[in-house]
Structure 1
Amino acid sequence: MKSRGAALVLVLWLVAMLTALIGGFALSARVEALQGKLLRDGVAGEEIARAGIEYALVRLVDEQPKTRWLPDGRAYAWHFADAELRIRIVDETGKVDLNQADVGLLSALMQVLGSEPAQAEAVAAAIVDWRDEDSLTQPVGGAEDPDYAAAGLPYGAKDAPFETVAEVEQVLGMTPELFARMQPFLTLHAGRVMPDPNLAPEPVLRALGLDPAEYEARRQAADIDPAMQQFIGAGSGTYSIESRARLADGRTTVLRRVVRAGSGPIPASAYVTLRQDSGFDPR
């Protein structure tokens, strides 16, 4: 009887162990399946969003004014592969160039975006000091190597042009919150001291001291009368494009690129990507 009882306990133990092993395997398989689906959906969503960017470049050079898209920041809708896309195009010449803009324009943009005048002026001067070659601060303030050392930072002013927009986060006085507000309106690709007001978004127009309503009226007029598009312009060929694709399952993939239209490094490519970021958007 004792041997039978021991055998029963052993069988029950083996059954429990096998149940646990099978349960663990099933859970692992389920997790891997979900990971695979997430990866597949992510790749599919990004490719759909990328199609939106490429379609936008086609519409930008449409020979028909009535169907041509304009790079002034308005949202365009497009349906592709069971996804609904909203695409915005902003010409880079409508933004503030970090390597060209003066203290006054940079300060004005920050104030439009909610900064106090004193903070805006100080950070704007520090931005110019970061990129200029000398070690002298701006007449209105600024920041050179001793100021960075006094702030406990292990680096000083670069004294060379910005290489990325994100580099401005290293400038003395810049905060993550201020950078987040400014980033959509900054560029390195305009090559202009002053943005093109015909293609500038509202905050940039206000920083320029212009009436956004006047320029919005021009853009609306261009929708009604395509002949008015000549007053907006066809664009410089370098654009920020946001492609927001809402997938069939309700999730949204967002792809943002700064691109230069024209032949790229890959044969038959229609553009060169200058900057990119992407991901799922919970909204």
Structure 2
Amino acid sequence: MRSRRSKNKQNGMALVIVLWMLALLTLLAAGYSRMMRTETILISQHMQLAEARAMAEAGVWLAIQDLLAMEVDRKWLSDGREYTFTWYEGGISLRLQDEAGRIDLNTARAELLHGLLQDSGIDEAEAIGLLQAIMDWRDRDNLPRTAGAEDQDYRLAGRNYGAKDGPFNSVEELRQVLGMNDSIFAAVEPALTVYSHQPGINPVVATREALLAIPGMDDTAIEAFLAARASSGTAEELFTGSTDNRFLSPVRDQVIRVRSTGTRGENQVLLEATVLLSRNQDDPFSILAWRER
């Protein structure tokens, strides 16, 4: 009798152990399955991100190919308008912006820079001070303008550097100028370049922000011009008779900024390439800058 009870007890214990083992194995299997699902999702997301980046790169090279074509054969204008198209199982968005349509930090007339700073929302005294600090940064001497900034002013402001007394190497360098802050920079950056090397801008390809910086221009005139340009592709005649030619430049198609966005699923990659066009048979173009934003 005792032997039978002992045997039943052992069988019961064995059953409990087996049930616990089955429960543990079930938990392990569920955890492994969940882990595999997570890894599958992550791999899929990484693949789509890589595909989006490849599409963005393809957009850049397609844009360069178009820029090198004869003007009559070109599909895309370089005035900043957006072009979108499907590419395999994703999409590409392109914007081509001629740098001749931006205000050159190194060569632009002071009046253009002044107008741009005024449009950034700061008051007149601050605009003049910042303008003169920019001029002091880019000129070759160490003589401060009335409201400008040279080496001593930077030291008094606690900076460990002084005025450069030389050209800007990039628009980003403008952040170092005394008086510049993030909000002003965000407002003026879309209108600026260091690649046009012109005192004025070409209205055929100019950005809205750059056009508004021209003395005497207002929102109504600019919007009318942009609407006409969007429909005709040029509309240069709207500027030739009413605007001071000192602020305009005929130069174009030398340096183009290409912004290409590749989209695959929920993933997007934006690449920005600045391209110098030489159209030399052996070396038709060169990349001046390339970054992922």
Relative to the length of structure 1, the TM-score reads 0.77
Alpha-carbon spacing, 1:171–1:4, altered in 2? closer, same or farther (3 Å) = farther
- Counterpart position of 2:256: 239
| 1:48 CA displacement | 0.6
What amino acid is the match of 1:49? A
- Counterpart position of 1:277: 291
| 1:116 CA displacement | 2.4
Give yes or no for the alignment of 1:99 onto 2:106. Answer: yes
| 1:92 CA displacement | 0.6
Q: 2:145 aligns with which of 132, 138, 148?
A: 138
CA contact (8 A) 1:49 1:253 kept: yes
Q: How many residues align?
A: 267
1:64-102 per-residue CA deviation (whole Å, 9 max, x = no partner) reads: 748632111112232222223331111011111111124
For 1:254 and 1:163, locate their aligned partners in 2 and report how far apart those are by CA, in whole Å.
23
Unpaired runs of 5+ in structure 1? Answer: 225-231
- Counterpart position of 2:201: 195
Give yes or no for the alignment of 1:122 onto 2:138. Answer: no
- Counterpart position of 2:244: none
More displaced stretch, 74-83 vs 44-53: 74-83
- CA radius of gyration, larger in: 2
Alpha-carbon spacing, 1:272–1:29, altered in 2? closer, same or farther (3 Å) = farther
CA contact (8 A) 2:104 2:195 kept: yes
Give yes or no for the alignment of 1:220 onto 2:236. Answer: no
- Counterpart position of 2:160: 154
1:87 aligned counterpart, secondary structure? strand
- Counterpart position of 1:58: 65
For 1:203 and 1:128, locate their aligned partners in 2 and report how far apart those are by CA, in whole Å.
20
- Counterpart position of 1:256: 272
What amino acid is the match of 1:124? L
2:65 aligned counterpart, secondary structure? helix
1:154 aligned counterpart, secondary structure? coil
For 2:17 and 2:284, locate their aligned partners in 1 and report how far apart those are by CA, in whole Å.
70
Aligned-residue CA RMSD (Å): 3.4
CA contact (8 A) 1:111 1:117 kept: yes
1:201-212 to 2 correspondences below 5 Å: 201-209=207-215, 210=217, 211-212=221-222
Relative to the length of structure 2, the TM-score reads 0.75
Unpaired runs of 5+ in structure 2? Answer: 1-5, 236-248
For 1:184 and 1:191, locate their aligned partners in 2 and report how far apart those are by CA, in whole Å.
17
2:86 aligned counterpart, secondary structure? strand
Alpha-carbon spacing, 1:33–1:162, altered in 2? closer, same or farther (3 Å) = farther
| 1:178 CA displacement | 1.5
- Counterpart position of 1:179: 185
Identity %: 33
| 1:58 CA displacement | 2.9
